[in-house]
Structure 1
Amino acid sequence: MLTEEDIVDKFFYQYPDHPELLQAEQPFAEILANTSSDAHESFASSTSILMPSQGNGTDFMVSRCQVQYPAFFLNGTGIAEASGLVFPIPSESSTRTDMLSSMAFFRGMEEANRFLPADNVMVAGRGRKKRPGMDGEVEAGLGRSSKQITVLPRCVQEEEEATALEMLDRLVLNGYDAHPGEMQEVVRVTLEDKENKSAIGRRGRRGARHTVVTDLETLLIRCAEAVSSNDVHGASKLLERIKWHSSPTGDAKQRLAHYFSQGLEARLAGTGSRLYRALMEKHTLTVGLIKAFHLHMAACCSMKVGLLFAINTICKAVAGRRKLHIVHYGITTGFQWPDLLRLLANREGGPPQVRITGINTPRPGLRPAQIMEEAGDRLGNCAKQFGVPFEFRAVASKPEDVRAEDLHIDPDEVLVVNSMYEFRTLMDESLTFDMVSPRDMVLNNISKMRPAVFVQSLVNGPYSAAFFMTRFRHALYYFTALFDVMENTVPRDNDQRLLVERDMLARSAINMIACEGADRVERPQNYKEWQARNERAGLRQLPLDPDVVLMLKDQVKSRYHKHFMISEDHRWLLQGWKGRVLYAHSTWASQVID
């Protein structure tokens, strides 16, 4: 009732002669009745009250407030008429009485005028300021008083979605070229700008940057130690210092510290799972995500090397055969396979029949396999254009639940199993110590499929330790390298770089820092640990093709930053940045030889 704006009016209308109201009005009526005419005149002159004037209309003004009775409202009887409504107009005989009953109101109006804003603020309704967005307009900011949410018109949303789908189809058809158009220009200009700087300037900046890096790294480690020991006071003080020196638009270390501090703060407050879910649910326009992924392909060679490694391996495996079956763990948009379909279409003797089975964790909602089904439609259109017989099947299930007999494997097919950086999210023994871990279950199922080749690309991130501080230090060094890649290849003011760092890098780091138990989905291991797992599951490692390795080295050297490296270690193809191994690739087959 207190917040209802017209409560006073309703009360007066319902109880016009209420005894308590009459009793409350009595003292004021006596005061008005005893007021002298001199006081009336003094008040009238001080408040600029204009009495009814002779003429075509009547003005009644109080300071800045003015009410006008137009001429056509007046009739000869001193009554204003309009649209069937009758308004009495004060006559000279009743003017003094009316003034007596209105003095308190006008005095309040005069006092209130002193507090009115100087600018022209419109008033809508009873006592409410009319803001610019009240007449159907959406306010630009979402402050505390705003109850409207910015919503794009349906036509704009549909146009944006159509543009995004058209762009996605075009990129899938073209195979996500590593240096497309504007992204190639962004990376090229950045590299040229860094190459043209003087040696003295580079040394000066490098020295200053090293000071900031060392300071922020030390602060982050000290803060992580305070968080792990539940030192709320000490961790809060360190977080304040880190936030003061960090920024999502600063240099590489400042950006990394910005996101790491978010993870530490959430872990300290016990809201890590909530923060990670909010980040995953954060809506970003599809066009922006595609451009961000495009930029990442142009700036970092990790995805391109993985694609070329898998495609060339599969082409060798299917040489001279008529049927190909690819089991793809973690398929999303299907961007991996148009290049392969194009190569198979131009193969001497004609293309083989291609069947792809996509496996991915079901999405919540009515269509758990929607992303995979859309990927199948895109790949089907590509295969039709290239003239390749094609079949696609989507399996919405957890990877560890898919068995070999669920895939309808044909003995006449060349079976290839592929996983690109997806196994890092499989749960390990830390949660399943009394049973077989999901990682071993997936590898056991792959071994039972008896594939001609299993192409495995891994995130070589040794930050899956059970102890938080060990995990934090490894993650800090790993993500330092990833943010440094973006610092050396993309300008700081590039919008797509912010999306790459927030949606592709920061989410993983925050999940690793702030979450525990089943909520921690980021669990990468180094390639030597995966090698031991694969061998326990009954898989044997295949040697690397020297021609493929040489081709990949030439690609990286000619098209990417000089600090990217390609090397080999015990039949593993390693990718890294400034000497740190970030990704690893290998090929495997069943130990049972047909």
Structure 2
Amino acid sequence: MKSNEMPPLDTHIFRKIHNYSIGNVENREIDSHGKLPLLYEDGSGNKYNKATYGFSFSTGNHQVEFEPLKSFHSLDALFLDTTPPFHSYEHKMRELADIESQYSELIKPHTQSHEKAVQHDPSGPKLSTDAIIRLGGERFIQSCSSTSMKDISISNHPYGGSFSGLSDEEVKDVQLIENLLLSSEKVTKQQYERSIKLLDWCDVLSCSMENPVQRLVHYFSKALREKIDKENGGDTSGGSKKKDEANLAERVMTPSATATMLYEKTPLYQAGHFAGVQALVDGLSGLKNVHVIDLSIKQGTQCTILMQALVSQPNCPIEHLKITAVGTNSKQKIEQTGVWLKSFAESINLSFSFNLVIVEDMLDFKKGLLELDPDEALGVYTSCGLWGMIAQQDRLESLMKVIRSIKPLVMVVCEVAANLNSLNFVNRFIEGLFFFGALFDFLEECLGCEDEIRTFTESMHFGKGISNIVASEGAERVMRHVNINVWRKFFARFGMKETELSMSSLYQAKLVVEKFPCGSGCTFDRDGDSLVIGWKGTPIQSLSSWKFS
């Protein structure tokens, strides 16, 4: 094992983090020797076998050129899809391949290296949510214009224009997607009565407790109704609704018991954490006095992974680790996280200190608040800690200026890998349908239909996110995820250079997903020097590592 490689760790140790309180320091799963149990082994019993590295990645070459800092006004165009609106929804669907999008075309199956074209055997496994959406999209296009779009005729699809080979449930799901798309088209044409009739049909055949497609349609139908109400001046929720939308990003970032349980039971987010921590270790390799600034500490699970990784380095043991958590809310919960981390560090004999910087407004965040030591090796880590400021770009720019001024050796960024910030409603609707469709499919396969965590997550997080993306405009729309290419352009303004993730990072991600029964659905793709973690080919998270020039 290389000196800077993380040993495989057991994420089972985080099982009771959500029960932790200041008065219950002993509520943690550590063995009698005060060390974390090791988890991952290969078939031969080895703890870590570099020979098992094995990935199939689709690659792309990206060259990010340095751009001098520009005025704040230029950031708006950077974070927005500036593709001119199409004259009609039908034209939009036809030209979907030409917009800057994560997905090539609505009507074509994925052609990524790890995924074959969609084919269906009635006696085999059910169609994925992604495949159902694509079939519904084809039927929508056919219903809009069966003569003007011969070049993308539905007969080119493996299933043709009929429902041959589909189960009754799959036929119902395809029809639901088709009618949902038809309803959204009527909204763009301001044909609200016709849209509502289609939504009434969707609501009869979908609900929040059925299969992933029906749950997806349930929440998108609800969001379209909200959009219709707003466009007709009938939204009566007033200030409470606006306040709820404004706090949406904050709630997503707030530590919670549900988030911890979801983390424990599913592979995607753990894969991002383990690979991201390995990238931090790679960037701080060989240094004994380490200071990590965490912009999204939440429950602190990534910090415990980092601690174990640093104390396990055979040739360069860590002498002291300082973690500074930066945030604008949840002070008490983050303080509890800090107490737990101190106890955890003590249990593995790690010299550790924890600082908390809470500012009312990110514009108030300054270098002097960080208690920097010139002998420290600085690293910055953020997991979904930046997207919430896209709607407040002066805050994001101010934060990045502070980070640039402290000159960290490495900055590791994990963000949602989706284009959900277009000014064009149709673009957001289509992108959101695929993205959330993958998430609903993911939770169904990993947690099951009856799981309470799945139900709560979809209702309180996914459902509200869909509502905000579909029904809100302007300052009210706070869910503004962008993909790695947009972040590259933004980071280039601050002289940041992307560094290639090591095979150790990729291996950590692979090890995590392999221990889950549903792990085979996770996919890994190279995008330049970054890693895109997806579900059955649909991008969910991007992980990247950066240095300042």
Interval containing the TM-score (normalised by the shorter chain): 0.5 to 0.7
TM-superposed CA distance for 1:230, in Å, is 4.1
1:373 paired with 2:295, answer no
1:383 paired with 2:345, answer yes
Q: Determine helix, strand or coil for the equivalent of 2:28.
A: helix
Summarize the Cα distance change of 1:487–1:499 in structure 2 as closer, same or farther, 3 Å threshold.
same
* Cα distance in 2 for residues equivalent to 1:248 and 1:178: 36
| Aligned 1:95-494 pairs, distance under 5 A | 165=21, 170=28, 200-202=122-124, 207-208=166-167, 209-270=169-230, 271=235, 274-275=240-241, 290=257, 293-299=260-266, 301-348=267-314, 350-362=317-329, 369-397=331-359, 398-428=361-391, 437-494=394-451
Whether the 8 Å contact between 1:440 and 1:533 is mirrored in structure 2 is: no
Whether the 8 Å contact between 2:276 and 2:505 is mirrored in structure 1 is: no
Summarize the Cα distance change of 1:372–1:351 in structure 2 as closer, same or farther, 3 Å threshold.
same
Whether the 8 Å contact between 2:276 and 2:543 is mirrored in structure 1 is: no
How much is the aligned-residue C-alpha RMSD, in angstroms?
3.5
Corresponding residue for residue 563 of structure 1: 521
TM-superposed CA distance for 1:579, in Å, is 1.8
TM-superposed CA distance for 1:539, in Å, is 0.5
Cα offsets for 1:232-288 (capped at 9, x unmatched): 32232222112111111100011111122222222222347745756979xx9xxx9
TM-superposed CA distance for 1:177, in Å, is 10
Summarize the Cα distance change of 1:483–1:462 in structure 2 as closer, same or farther, 3 Å threshold.
same
Q: Determine helix, strand or coil for the equivalent of 2:450.
A: coil
Summarize the Cα distance change of 1:389–1:579 in structure 2 as closer, same or farther, 3 Å threshold.
same
Corresponding residue for residue 113 of structure 1: none
TM-superposed CA distance for 1:574, in Å, is 1.2
Aligned counterpart in structure 2 of residue 582 of structure 1, from 540, 543, 549: 540
Q: Determine helix, strand or coil for the equivalent of 1:337.
A: helix
TM-superposed CA distance for 1:447, in Å, is 1.9
* Cα distance in 2 for residues equivalent to 1:492 and 1:329: 33
TM-superposed CA distance for 1:536, in Å, is 1.5
TM-superposed CA distance for 1:296, in Å, is 4.7
TM-superposed CA distance for 1:168, in Å, is 11
Amino acid corresponding to residue 534 of structure 2 in structure 1: G
* Cα distance in 1 for residues equivalent to 2:368 and 2:508: 37
Amino acid corresponding to residue 187 of structure 2 in structure 1: V
Whether the 8 Å contact between 2:522 and 2:536 is mirrored in structure 1 is: yes
Amino acid corresponding to residue 440 of structure 1 in structure 2: E
Summarize the Cα distance change of 1:264–1:277 in structure 2 as closer, same or farther, 3 Å threshold.
farther
| Range with greater deviation from structure 2 (347-356 or 491-500) | 347-356
TM-superposed CA distance for 1:350, in Å, is 4.3
Q: Determine helix, strand or coil for the equivalent of 1:250.
A: coil
Cα offsets for 1:298-331 (capped at 9, x unmatched): 23x2211121122222223333322111111122
* Cα distance in 2 for residues equivalent to 1:306 and 1:498: 23
Corresponding residue for residue 139 of structure 1: none
Summarize the Cα distance change of 1:357–1:543 in structure 2 as closer, same or farther, 3 Å threshold.
same
Q: Determine helix, strand or coil for the equivalent of 2:412.
A: strand
* Cα distance in 1 for residues equivalent to 2:341 and 2:377: 19
TM-superposed CA distance for 1:487, in Å, is 2.4
Cα offsets for 1:537-590 (capped at 9, x unmatched): 211111221232234334434534322111212101111122222211110011
TM-superposed CA distance for 1:535, in Å, is 1.0
Whether the 8 Å contact between 2:284 and 2:410 is mirrored in structure 1 is: no
Summarize the Cα distance change of 1:589–1:205 in structure 2 as closer, same or farther, 3 Å threshold.
closer
* Cα distance in 2 for residues equivalent to 1:464 and 1:260: 17
Cα offsets for 1:349-378 (capped at 9, x unmatched): 643212111111235xxxxx2222121111
Structure 2, gaps ≥5 residues long:
1-16, 41-119, 129-165
Amino acid corresponding to residue 413 of structure 1 in structure 2: E
Amino acid corresponding to residue 386 of structure 2 in structure 1: F
* Cα distance in 1 for residues equivalent to 2:240 and 2:187: 18
Whether the 8 Å contact between 1:260 and 1:509 is mirrored in structure 2 is: yes
| Aligned 1:74-89 pairs, distance under 5 A | none
Summarize the Cα distance change of 1:471–1:291 in structure 2 as closer, same or farther, 3 Å threshold.
closer
* Cα distance in 2 for residues equivalent to 1:504 and 1:169: 28
Q: Determine helix, strand or coil for the equivalent of 1:375.
A: helix
Amino acid corresponding to residue 437 of structure 2 in structure 1: T
* Cα distance in 2 for residues equivalent to 1:167 and 1:506: 35
TM-score, with length taken from structure 1? 0.60
Corresponding residue for residue 502 of structure 2: 545
* Cα distance in 1 for residues equivalent to 2:477 and 2:192: 22
Corresponding residue for residue 101 of structure 1: none
Cα offsets for 1:151-183 (capped at 9, x unmatched): xxxxxxxxxx9956469953799999999xxxx
* Cα distance in 2 for residues equivalent to 1:341 and 1:205: 42
Q: Determine helix, strand or coil for the equivalent of 2:534.
A: strand
Whether the 8 Å contact between 1:574 and 1:583 is mirrored in structure 2 is: yes
* Structure number with larger C-alpha Rg: 1
Corresponding residue for residue 55 of structure 2: none
Whether the 8 Å contact between 1:357 and 1:392 is mirrored in structure 2 is: yes
Whether the 8 Å contact between 2:18 and 2:257 is mirrored in structure 1 is: no
Summarize the Cα distance change of 1:177–1:370 in structure 2 as closer, same or farther, 3 Å threshold.
farther
Percent identical among aligned pairs is 22
Greater RCO (Cα-Cα under 8 Å, separation 6 or more): 2
